[in-house]
Amino acid sequence: MAHLVELRDVYKIYGEGLESEVRALDGVSLTVDPGEFVAIVGQSGSGKSTMMNVLGCLDIPTRGDYYLEGTDVRELTDKELSLIRNKEIGFIFQQYNLIQSLTVLENVELPLIYQGINADDRYDLAMEALERVGLSGRVKHRPTEMSGGQQQRVAIARAIATHPPIIMADEPTGALDSRTGQEVLQFLQQLNKEGSTIILITHDNGIAATARRCVRLQDGKIVEDREQEVDWL
C-alpha cells in the first residue's frame, strides 16, 4: 500500500548559512498511511507548527522530499499547491479562521466556491456538513453570534465539506473549555472511524493520547514515533 504522506530527510531552515540559522525541521523522515490518526506533539519551538505547514503544503522544505499521494510536492506550482490545499486537505485551526462578515453557511461554502462547484451542489454539501456538526439550524447566523465551541464546529464543517482524504487539525481545542474540546476530539475520532486520515498537531500530551499513533518532536527532530492504545476503537 502506498503511503499517503511521506517525508524523506526533510529540513526547513530559516536564515540558512547565517550565524543565526534556525533548523525548524532537522532531517525529519515520516510516513502516514491512509486511515491513520496521528498526533504530532511537542512544546513551543519543537518544530510542530513548521511540520504542519510543510505537511499542509503551506510551506516548502528547504531540503529533502515530500510526497503527497505519490506526488513530489516540491515540483508543484503555487496554483497546484493551492488546489491540493483546497481539495486534499481539510484544515481546522485553533482560532477558527472564520470570516466574520459571512454567515455560517457562507463560511462553509467558501472552499466549495474555490473548487468551482455550482451553487446547488455547494448548498447541499455545506448543509450536509453543518448537519453533521449539529448546526443546520444556525446557517444564517454570523460567527460573532456564536460560542467558541459553535464556531469551531463551523470550522470543522468547512473542513469536511469537500470530503478531503486528510484532516489536519492544529491545536483544535486550544481556545475551548475542556468539555467542548472533548466533543471536538470525539468528532475527529468519528471521522477517523469513517476513513478520514487525521493529523493532529498539539502541545498537550493528554490530547495526543487520543490518537492511535504519537510522533513527538523536539528541536526539529523526531524523538519518538509509537503506536498507542486508545479506548475509542
By the 8 A CB rule, do 219 and 48 touch? no
For residue 10, is it within any domain? no
| Inter-axis angle of helices 119-132 and 104-114, nearest 10 | 130
For residue range 89-98, list pLDDT tens digits in order.
Answer: 999 988 889 9
Domains identified in the chain, total number:
1
Q: State the Cα–Cα distance between residues 167 and 92, nearest whole angstrom.
A: 8
Examine residue 2 and state whether it is found in any structural domain, yes or no.
no
User: Does some domain include residue 199?
Assistant: yes
Whether the model pTM is above 0.85: yes
Within a domain: 131: yes
Nearest to 172 by CA among 182, 160, 161, 162: 182
Within a domain: residue 21? no
Residue 166 placed within a domain:
yes
Q: What percent of the chain has pLDDT over 90?
A: 79
Asked if residue 124 belongs to a domain, the reply is yes
Percentage of the chain with pLDDT > 70? 98
Residue 72 forms part of a structural domain: no
pLDDT in tens, 179-223: 888 888 988 999 999 999 999 999 999 999 999 999 999 999 999
Strand blocks (E) in the chain: 5-14, 22-32, 37-41, 63-68, 71-72, 89-93, 166-170, 197-202, 213-218, 221-227
Q: How many angstroms separate the CA atoms of 65 and 98, rounded?
A: 32
d(CA 220, CA 62): 13
Range of the domain at 199: 34-49+83-227
Which CATH number do you get for residue 121?
A: 3.40.50.300
Three cell numbers at 208?
495526543
